[in-house]
Structure 1
Amino acid sequence: MTATRTGPLTPRTRSRRRTVLPTLPALLLVLLAVAGPWLAPHAIDAPVTAPYAEAGDGALLGGDQLGRDVLTRLLAGGRDLITTSLVVTALITATAAVLGTVAALRPGVGRVVDRAADVLMLLPPVLGILLIALSWPAGGRLALIVAAYALGVPYAVRVAAAAAAPVVASGYIEAAAAGGERLWYLVVRDVLPNLRATLLALFGLRFVAAVYVVATAGFLQVGPQPPAADWALMIRENAGGILLNPWAVLAPSIAIGLLAMSVNLAAATLVPDSGRKAVTVL
């Protein structure tokens, strides 16, 4: 019987492992949250135990303030939070990439963007959520997306503009502009491809901020309303019984923290090695 010899890992294999392994937690958590409603052992609004019952055979994480299964509501409560946060993050990153690049290419536009960002950054996040979500007709998730988007764009535009400025000042961009290339061609074809590392890091950071804003809105009950299953709403609803069944509060809190950290880690891992120095300013 001949033993199989395993040679040393190639640089490509090591690089692949360094990329895949840190992204697995985020991928698994997102998949679990998406599939959670189908994996839940009980109906999300059906009482199965006494209020704030301790963890046991009938309910692995115990019951909430109405005796509903905490595990069921935990599995069902992450999909909308993740979906909303991803939509908000994608919109913010795309807007910041375009506005930041245009601001770097056109100094006059850049001054207007800077002043608008200064004004919007003066608005406290909680106050901004309340103003936008409560004044929006019918409220709901669309109002929450608009609020999170409005609060996140000013910071992201500043980062994107700062990253685009050295690229715009390079010789080949100046030559392309002098050659009569249109603004949108310069933005899409010449500048944005050189900002991939910064935009990936920005995506991770803005996702964490979006989770914070969406969770804050849920805690303030200006987003999802009872009896919806939502991680932030679970924390608010069960805060009064944390000493009776801590899992009713700890489980969604841990889930929100793990979601933010794992997605941020995954985005940072996807930043190419050649661009890591460029994102240290973040």
Structure 2
Amino acid sequence: MSARIGLFIILVYVVAAAFAPMLAPYRETEIVGEVWEPFGGATLLGTDQLGRDLLTRLLYGARNTISIALATTLLSFAMGAASGFLAAILGGWIDNILSRMVDILMAIPILIFALMILSILGTSVPVLILVIAVLDSTRVFRLSRAVAMDVAVMDYVEVARLRGEGLWWLMRREIFPNTLAPLVAEFGLRFCFVFLFISALSFLGLGLQPPAADWGGMVRENAGAITFGIITPLLPAAAIAVLTIGVNLVVDWFLHHTSGIRDES
């Protein structure tokens, strides 16, 4: 049941992100009323600190935030899993060099490191994706290397080596299919982390830049409304929380399902 709830939440967010221009009643940056108008009327969820429709901003924020988080997670997994498999299969000095590089990056607090790099390189979307993907790939490397080392000593991998199969074959046909379950679960968890991390950077002013809609930035921009008892900043915060809960529900179900544990009737 929890997995169905999680899938439903994810589906709603995906539809909102994919069809934001068609679902939104106004343009992303269009000013349609006074500052912090209440719910109802022409603006279903009221307006923000500039008089823009909040529902429209939430829909476009879904498209911007989720697409950036998904692209970042995919890139981090491509880099982390490939390097982790490489270290597990080849071992020796290659494994030592890659592992020590990852240890150095993981020793630096990720938020401080990201803030420093983004302050130097700027906060364009490609830079934002690349910086977070590189930092997050260290966690993927540790997991993929650990699970790949367990698989690399199996008899069927040794048979493939004796047949003369190359490195790419071993990674693609022998290691990857047998490490898929933990990697899929980790993908969901990493997506949640990246999603929250991007929102945190936007809240600090180093994420997606105005006037583009972004949930973390919307919380920061409308934070002053709380002083007047207006709940406008709580809506993008709730959107962040609900999606995180939905993804975690699906990940928990997947881990339970792949672990072989069955609920007793």
Alpha-carbon displacement from aligned partner over 1:229-272 (angstroms, at most 9, x marks no partner): 21111001011112436432111111112222323433554569
Match of 1:254 among 205, 215, 238: 238
Match of 1:134 among 119, 122, 128: 119
Match of 1:208 among 192, 201, 217: 192
Cα pair distance change 1:142/1:48, threshold 3 Å: same
Shift of 1:179: 3.7
Alignment pair present for 1:224 and 2:208: yes
Cα pair distance change 1:33/1:243, threshold 3 Å: farther
Alignment pair present for 1:70 and 2:54: yes
> Number of paired residues?
260
Q: Which moved more, 1:193-202 or 1:108-117?
A: 108-117
Contact 2:185 2:251 in 1 (8 A): yes
Give the 3-state SS of the residue equivalent to 2:232 in structure 1.
helix
Q: Give the letter for the 1:276 counterpart.
A: S
- Residue of structure 2 in register with 1:155 after alignment: 139
Contact 2:6 2:245 in 1 (8 A): no
Q: Give the letter for the 1:157 counterpart.
A: F
- Give the TM-score normalised by the residue count of structure 2: 0.88
- Residue of structure 1 in register with 2:108 after alignment: 123
Q: Distance in 1 between matches of 2:123 and 2:30?
A: 27
Q: Distance in 2 between matches of 1:255 and 1:36?
A: 15
Contact 1:50 1:63 in 2 (8 A): yes
Q: Distance in 1 between matches of 2:72 and 2:212?
A: 21
Where does structure 2 lack aligned partners over 5 or more consecutive residues? none
Q: Distance in 1 between matches of 2:260 and 2:67?
A: 31
Match of 1:241 among 218, 225, 230: 225
Contact 2:200 2:216 in 1 (8 A): yes
Alignment pair present for 1:82 and 2:66: yes
Alpha-carbon displacement from aligned partner over 1:79-109 (angstroms, at most 9, x marks no partner): 0111111111111222222221221112222
- Give the TM-score normalised by the residue count of structure 1: 0.83
Alpha-carbon displacement from aligned partner over 1:48-102 (angstroms, at most 9, x marks no partner): 3332232232322222112222122112211011111111111122222222122
Contact 1:197 1:276 in 2 (8 A): no
Cα pair distance change 1:106/1:272, threshold 3 Å: farther
Where does structure 1 lack aligned partners over 5 or more consecutive residues? 1-16
Contact 2:10 2:247 in 1 (8 A): yes
Give the 3-state SS of the residue equivalent to 1:242 in structure 2.
helix
Alpha-carbon displacement from aligned partner over 1:174-203 (angstroms, at most 9, x marks no partner): 232244321111111111110110111011
Alignment pair present for 1:114 and 2:99: yes
Structure with bigger gyration radius = 1
Contact 1:55 1:62 in 2 (8 A): yes
Q: Distance in 2 between matches of 1:207 and 1:180?
A: 37
Cα pair distance change 1:102/1:181, threshold 3 Å: same
Structure 1 segments of 4 or more deviating over 6 A? none
Cα pair distance change 1:47/1:139, threshold 3 Å: closer
CA RMSD across the alignment: 2.3
Contact 2:13 2:62 in 1 (8 A): no
Q: Distance in 1 between matches of 2:179 and 2:57?
A: 40
